Structure 1
Amino acid sequence: MKKFNVVICLLCLPAFAFCQDNNWDLQRCVDYALSHNISVRQSDVQQRLSAIQLKQAKAMQIPTLSMNSQAGEHFGRYIYPTTNQFATNNSFSQNYGLQSGITLFNFFSQQHAIKSAKALDNANKFDIERAKNDVALNVAAAYLQYLLSLEQVNIAQGQIALSQKQLDITNKQVAAGSLPELNSAQLESQLATDSSTYITNEATMIQNKLQLLALLNLSADAPFNVSLPDVEAIPLIPLSEMQPQDVYHIALRNQYQQKVDSLNILSALEETKSARAQMYPSIQMSGSMNSNYASKDPYGFSYSKQVFNANLSEFIGLSLNIPIFNSRQLRSNYEKSKENVISAELTQEKNNQALQQNIYTAYSNAQSGIQNYNANTKSESYSAYAYELAQKRYDIGIMSTSDYLIAQNNLYTAKMNKAAAHFEYIFRLKVLEFYKYNHIKL
């Protein structure tokens, strides 16, 4: 649940245009992934298969037509094809046949089959959009992870610069005899800790970059640069306009997964009607034309005279097919189709429950997110003021190095917590926005 929400909210990142080919914004990453992602291509294949199935269902209403021909040499005793009498002389013969048939009435089984195939085809079209959303969200998740790791690296670099600057000042004071050497040793230790944090953050950044490149199907050594977005510029919809019960009812109509579920139920219902109709009698009309040729015709007719006149026969008729017993195949098909309806309905219910839970969870997280952000904003302000006072006290030698480093680390932690809380609050709101509009307004 948490992972799903976090992934969805990542779409809130605004697009930034770059002029160099090796610079990537979120939109470029998503577009590239959509054209190369296997899951989207697989969904597209499924939709094309369902389109073929729909064409096949519609074609069942068209009369069938087939033609056959057979030619051969007769030897020994046989029935002569044009006279139906026994003959013993060798002869050559050829016959032609043309057959056609159409179902006139089968209790609308074909019509329900067409409706079922059409609903399935529409469901697969929406499923392509769902797959695209999933890919976009996964790419956005990896993109944000990379951006956050870049920011962590930058903060760690700033921390190193701050510690190094303070160490240089302290070393001069130690050399002048105004401060004990212990102060320099403590700052050296802090600088080593900051360097270790930087190395860890940089390793995480590289891993996140490789993960994003893998999602994009790009080489690990491909030129790839991104830019940190301006979080303050991201537009936000007030939380008061995102009441969870309202968002949920809108999402039931807008979300692609819910549209897929509804169409799958419709397809299953129509398939049930079609399976039931197959258990009743059906009426077919058929017709045929047949002719043949024999090399030793007793009347001496030519090839065209035999084939198109003398030996030509025609037939047209109606047939009634009444299923009585066929090893319970039709009954079993009907009962399985009813179970398929129940299965589709349960799938819809499960997905709707998950949707409702996601929305209410996102709303609760957004509420706590703004409170957490406000609290961390105050904490960062107080920590900055405390550090400013500590800096002044340390510079005049009335504060120990360890106390100064505590104030410095508190400020560093407060900045990180505030940034994280700010991102969290914004992204939680974007989760609700996604559910309500099925996309993110940037």
Structure 2
Amino acid sequence: MKKLTLLAILFTFAFSSYAQEKKWTLQECVQYALENNISIKQSQLDVEATEADKLLAIGNFLPTISATGGVSENTGLSFNPVTNNAQTTTFLSATGRINVGYTLFDGLRNVRESQRAELSKLASQYRLDKMKDDISLAVANSYLQVLLNKANLEVAKAQNEVTLQQIERTNNLVDAGTLPRGDLLEIQATNAGEKQRIAEAENAVTISLISLAQLLLIEDYANFDVADEGYNIVGDDIIEKPVQEVINAAEENRNEVKIAIKNVELAEKDLQIARGSYYPTLSAFFGYDTRYTDATTFSTQVDPNNPVVTEEIGVVEETGQTVIGQFPNTVTREIGADPFFDQLYQNDGISYGLQLNIPILNGFATRANVKRNKINLLRTEFQLEQAKLDLESNVYQAYVDAKGALKAYEAAIAALESQELAYDYAKDRYDVGLTNAFDFSQSKLRFDNATIEVNRTKYNYIFKLKVLELYFGVPATELKF
């Protein structure tokens, strides 16, 4: 028992350590967001809802079947449901009916509804795909912001290490009387400013990590961290393609245009469905019904023991002779109700036929509905044209942004190389006492800023490239970093 307890404690500790040491990659963050984001889940429910619409459209092609039944007890003067005779008594009765109906023609509205349900499902799927692309891009942007802040923090720490070394060296030279104390104070002031920038950089890293965790719906902010290695500039060959090629690919692959196209097709189906109300509706029906009652009935029959009775029927006026006639001697007998199942067979009946409904005038409701759907069709066509224009503008803007980001990155690298040479030169001069601490600190600050600018332009360029790849048709889950 003690061994099992010890193993459980060790397992729990190992799992907790793993959770704390785990660093999320960008692909893991994107995949987690796609599986857990609330907006994506809502879009998935929209897709599932279209399945219900499709099921309903298919059901319109099936016949309608309904069954009804009822049981009642009557007291007093009532009509016997079997004989339809009025009688004063108390009796129990039951009725049952099965109805079957089938629409033979309804202006092809059932066909249009089925086609519309399929289009609606595709439109919902495109909206879901667009939502996934938007979420993936937002996660990538937030992730790259974390990497940028981490890179800036590393630069600040590395440069502060150099400053601390300079403080130690300058302090020794001041004690030896080689340098004035003002140089030491200048370096110490530089160190204080760098400590402040390190604190700000650490705060920026923490805030960006929290923002990314909130985007992923992760509540354990304290243990959340990302992998900050291996993210380089890849896929930059797309920027060498002609912009029109990228625009054409976007029009074929982007969900914005696909959604607008499906909306136009849906509007066309709605117009066809509305026009179907102008046509007559032909339907067939079949019904089967039966009934039962426990009421007794009365039957008049000839008395077998005395089948004939003789009665006077008149007198002859001239002779006064009586006229006698013979009549059947009938007796009335009460007959009990037949058994339940026997009555079901004896009292059943069927009905069937066709029903034609011809619309003549319904207050212009059909005409108004058709007109409304015509307007909606025109509106969706305008929206499609606008979606294409917006997409072309966005792609062109993304293309120009990526080009500009590349130039900014290349310029930042060139500036860093120049500042690095200037910093090395200033450091060498400061080490031999040819320049003062202020000039050296200024050269070091420019070098630090150039390094931070390279980091900023690098991750900005990576993000702009990924945006361009999405427009070109690369799925969000297949983006390379």
Does TM-score exceed 0.5, indicating one fold? yes
* CA distance in 1 between partners of 2:45 and 2:397 (Å): 35
Identity across aligned pairs (percent)?
27
For these two proteins, the number of residue pairs brought into alignment is: 422
| Worse-matched range after superposition: 296-305 or 158-167 | 296-305
Q: Distance in 2 between matches of 1:99 and 1:219?
A: 58
What residue in structure 2 maps to residue 269 of structure 1? 268
CA 1:238 to 1:63, structure 2 compared with 1: closer, same or farther past 3 Å?
Answer: closer
What is the match of residue 148 of structure 1?
A: 148
Listed one character per residue, the Cα deviations across residues 89-142 of structure 1 (whole Å, up to 9, x for unaligned) are 111110011111111111211101111111001211222222222222222222
Q: Deviations over 1:180-206 (max 9, x none)?
A: 111111111111111111111111111
Paired amino acid for 1:151: A
Is 1:364 the counterpart of 2:363? The answer is no
In structure 2, the CA distance between the partners of 1:226 and 1:233, relative to structure 1 (3 Å rule), is same
Could you tell me which residue of structure 1 aligns to residue 278 of structure 2? 279
Aligned partner of 1:253 in structure 2 is 252
Measure the CA separation in 1 of the matches of 2:367 and 2:59: 25
Which amino acid is 1:305 matched to?
A: D
SS in structure 2 of the partner of residue 154 of structure 1: helix
Please list, as runs of the form range in 1=range in 2, the aligned pairs for 1:174-185 lying within 5 A after superposition: 174-185=174-185
Contact 1:126 1:260 in 2 (8 A): yes
Alignment of 1:391-406 (within 5 A): 391-406=427-442
Q: Secondary structure at the match of 1:83?
A: coil
1-structure distance, mates of 2:98, 2:83: 21
Q: 1:344 to 1:61 in 2, by over 3 A?
A: same
Compute the displacement of 1:297 (Å).
Answer: 5.1
Q: Output the CA distance in 2 between the equivalents of 1:31 and 1:393.
A: 53
CA distance in 2, matches of 1:176, 1:328: 105
Does residue 328 in structure 1 map to residue 364 in structure 2?
Answer: yes
Q: Residue 288 of structure 1 corresponds to which residue in structure 2?
A: 287
Higher strand share: 2
Deviations 1:377-427 (A, max 9, x none): 221111111111111111111112111111111111111222322333333
| CA shift in 2, pair 1:413/1:391, >3 Å | same
Distance 1:426 1:214, change over 3 A: closer
Quote how far apart the aligned CAs of 1:238 are. Answer: 4.7
Task: Give me the whole-angstrom Cα distance separating, in 1, the residues matched to 2:101 and 2:178.
Answer: 109
**SS of the counterpart of 1:237?**
helix
Secondary structure of residue in 2 paired with 1:332:
helix
Corresponding residue number in structure 1 for 2:347: 311
- Output the TM-score relative to the length of structure 2: 0.83
- The 3 A distance-change label for structure 1 pair 145 and 348 is same
What is the distance in 2 between the residues matched to 1:68 and 1:435?
A: 59
Partner of 2:76, secondary structure, is coil
Deviation at 1:302, TM superposition (A): 2.5
Task: Specify the alignment match of 2:13 in structure 1.
Answer: none
Tell me the C-alpha RMSD between the 2 structures: 1.9
CA distance in structure 2 between the partners assigned to 1:231 and 1:145 by the alignment: 12
**What code does the residue aligned with 1:288 have?**
G
TM-superposition CA deviations, 1:300-349 (whole Å, max 9, x none): 532222212x2111111111112233343333332332233233333333
Q: Which amino acid aligns with 1:203?
A: N
Moved more, 267-276 or 217-226: 217-226
Are 1:411 and 2:410 matched, yes or no? no
Deviation larger for 297-306 or 88-97: 297-306
Contact 2:291–2:348 (CA under 8 A) maintained in structure 1: yes
Q: Is the 8 A contact 2:235 2:465 kept in 1?
A: no
Q: Is the 8 A contact 1:123 1:263 kept in 2?
A: yes
C-alpha separation in 2, matches of 1:28 and 1:232: 17
**Partner SS for 1:90:** strand
Instruction: Give the equivalent residue in structure 1 for 2:196.
Output: 196
* SS across alignment from 2:338: coil
Corresponding position of 1:3: none
Q: SS of the residue aligned with 2:187?
A: helix
Q: CA deviation at 1:174?
A: 0.9
Give the Cα separation in 2 of the matches to 1:392 and 1:337: 79
Asked which structure has the greater CA Rg, the reply is 2
